[in-house]
């Protein structure tokens, strides 16, 4: 019995490099050819022909190109791509229309025990991938509805430096070759990438402020916009740090804290400098050494450059700077991030007050 439908087909290259043949049928050859011509025109115009039978891997590539790439830095683009591949790679060859909640839940369960922030990112991205697929009419239902985050590991909250640590830090600043660099993170609450991108043109010597307009990409020396729009901000420089910054600015040709070739520091270089700085703090505090190796530490070993930024925000809270101003100075796009630090400080102040009251009442 002859087939009453006429057929036409076209082979296209998918974003992941694989070939895909799209087949069309019509009651007449003219109708089938018209569907083929429309698909070809869309493909040549850069509009990927996708439907529910598109594989997860192919849709992820399209999602990244259309919804992520225009809005994020190149390094972030690759970080997200690698994260999705690492967590959800077992679904790569599944068709969108065949993926169920159970498939996604199994993938996300495999990262149980990871940090809460990592799990939240993995949840956020997979939900957006299928939300956009649903919004594009590729699937009849969003399979991430009902997705449950696995148990995360307990993360130790970042802390502020103690008074003793701040005194020790500022002492080492006076002679360490990267003292001014780390000092600006404590004095102005900058992210490491923002400090690395500072030039002499970001310093207002008349008003004693710095204006953050750029940052260095995490794993390169490329200059980009700050992490978020809120990252663009002008920060007053405290009096204790101003002479150091003024001297650094006067000596700088362009970047305030350059590498040996005059460009911005790499991530590895600033981390090496941080370890060197911590060693000097350790030695200054009385660490014991053997053959030039520290064998008994005199300072806590949990400090990172971000503790300096956290200390800055903690100081703002303790000085009574209002929450909205602190959010601006920190460059937080979400005020809840600032509020979390403020809440922690407030709780500490309440506990301290309770101890003082108890001591007085015990007399």
Digit-coded pLDDT (tens) for 132-171: 999 988 899 999 999 999 998 876 778 899 999 999 999 9
Instruction: Answer yes or no: is pLDDT of 66 > 90.
Output: no
pTM of the model: 0.66
Same fold flag, 56-135 and 163-355: no
* Whole-number percent of the chain with pLDDT over 90: 62
Q: How far is CA 354 from CA 55, 159, 221, 348, 363, in A?
A: 60, 21, 49, 10, 15
When computed from its CA atoms, the radius of gyration of the chain, rounded to whole angstroms, is 28
289-324 pLDDT per residue, tens: 999 999 999 999 999 999 999 999 999 998 989 999
Instruction: Write down the architecture of domain 163-355 according to CATH.
Output: Orthogonal Bundle (1.10)
- Number of other residues whose CB lies within 10 A of the CB of residue 342: 20
Residue 352 Cα to chain centre, angstroms: 34
What is the arithmetic mean of pLDDT over 86-101?
94
121-134 pLDDT per residue, tens: 999 999 999 999 99
* Whole-number percent of the chain with pLDDT over 70: 90
209-259 pLDDT per residue, tens: 999 999 998 778 888 887 678 889 999 999 999 999 999 999 999 999 999
Q: How far separated are the first and last CA of the chain, in Å rounded?
A: 105
Cβ within 8 Å of residue 302, ≥6 positions away = 156, 159
What is the arithmetic mean of pLDDT over 323-346?
87
Is the distance from CB of 234 to CB of 210 less than 8 angstroms?
Answer: yes
Is the distance from CB of 176 to CB of 280 less than 8 angstroms?
Answer: yes
Domains of the chain by residue range: 6-39, 56-135, 163-355
Instruction: Write down the architecture of domain 56-135 according to CATH.
Output: Orthogonal Bundle (1.10)
pLDDT at 1: 39
17-56 pLDDT per residue, tens: 667 787 877 788 898 888 888 878 766 655 555 666 788 9
């Amino acid at each position: 019995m002859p087939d009453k439908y006429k057929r036409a087909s076209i082979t296209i290259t998918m974003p992941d490099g694989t070939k895909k043949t799209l087949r069309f049928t019509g009651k007449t050859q003219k109708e089938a050819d018209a569907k083929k011509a429309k698909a070809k025109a869309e493909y040549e115009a850069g509009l990927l022909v996708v439907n529910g039978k598109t594989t997860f891997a192919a849709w992820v590539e399209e999602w990244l190109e259309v919804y992520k790439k225009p809005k994020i830095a190149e390094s972030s683009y690759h970080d997200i791509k690698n994260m999705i591949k690492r967590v959800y790679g077992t679904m790569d060859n599944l068709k969108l229309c065949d993926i169920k909640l159970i498939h996604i839940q199994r993938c996300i369960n495999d990262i149980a025990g990871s940090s809460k922030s990592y799990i939240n990112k993995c949840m956020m991205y997979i939900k957006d991938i299928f939300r956009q697929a649903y919004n594009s009419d590729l699937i009849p239902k969003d399979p991430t509805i009902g997705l449950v985050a696995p148990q995360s590991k307990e993360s130790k909250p970042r802390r502020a430096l103690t008074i003793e640590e701040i005194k020790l830090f500022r002492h080492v600043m006076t002679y360490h070759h990267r003292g001014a660099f780390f000092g600006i993170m404590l004095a102005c609450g900058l992210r490491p990438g923002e400090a690395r991108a500072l030039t002499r043109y970001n310093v207002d010597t008349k008003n004693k402020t710095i204006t953050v307009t750029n940052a260095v990409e995490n794993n390169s020396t490329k200059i980009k916009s700050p992490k978020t729009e809120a990252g663009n901000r002008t920060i007053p420089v405290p009096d204790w740090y101003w002479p150091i910054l003024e001297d650094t600015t006067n000596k700088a040709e362009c970047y305030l804290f350059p590498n040996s070739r005059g460009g911005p520091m790499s991530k590895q270089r600033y981390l090496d400098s941080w370890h060197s700085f911590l060693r000097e703090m350790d030695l200054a505090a009385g660490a014991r050494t053997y053959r030039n190796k520290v064998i008994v530490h005199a300072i806590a070993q949990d400090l990172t450059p971000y503790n300096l930024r956290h200390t800055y925000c903690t100081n703002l809270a303790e000085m009574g700077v209002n929450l909205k101003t602190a959010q601006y100075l920190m460059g937080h796009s979400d005020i809840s991030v600032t509020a979390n630090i403020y809440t922690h400080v407030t709780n500490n102040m309440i506990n301290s007050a309770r101890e003082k009251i108890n001591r007085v009442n015990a007399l």
